[in-house]
Amino acid sequence: MTKKATKKITVTRFDAADYLDSEEMIAEYLSAALEDDNPDVFLSALGDIAKARGMAKIAKDAGLSRESLYKALAPGAKPCYETVRKLMDAIGVKMTAQSTAHV
pLDDT at 96: 86
pLDDT confidence tier of residue 4, bands split at 50, 70 and 90 = confident
pLDDT at 29: 95
Task: Output the pTM of the full model.
Answer: 0.82
pLDDT at 23: 92
Tell which phi-psi region holds residue 54, choosing left (phi > 0), alpha (psi between -120 and 50) or beta. left
pLDDT confidence tier of residue 6, bands split at 50, 70 and 90 = confident
Average pLDDT of span 32-58: 95
What does the domain layout of the chain look like in residue ranges? 18-91
pLDDT at 53: 94
Please give, one letter per residue, the 3-state secondary structure of 30-46: HHHHHCCCCHHHHHHHH
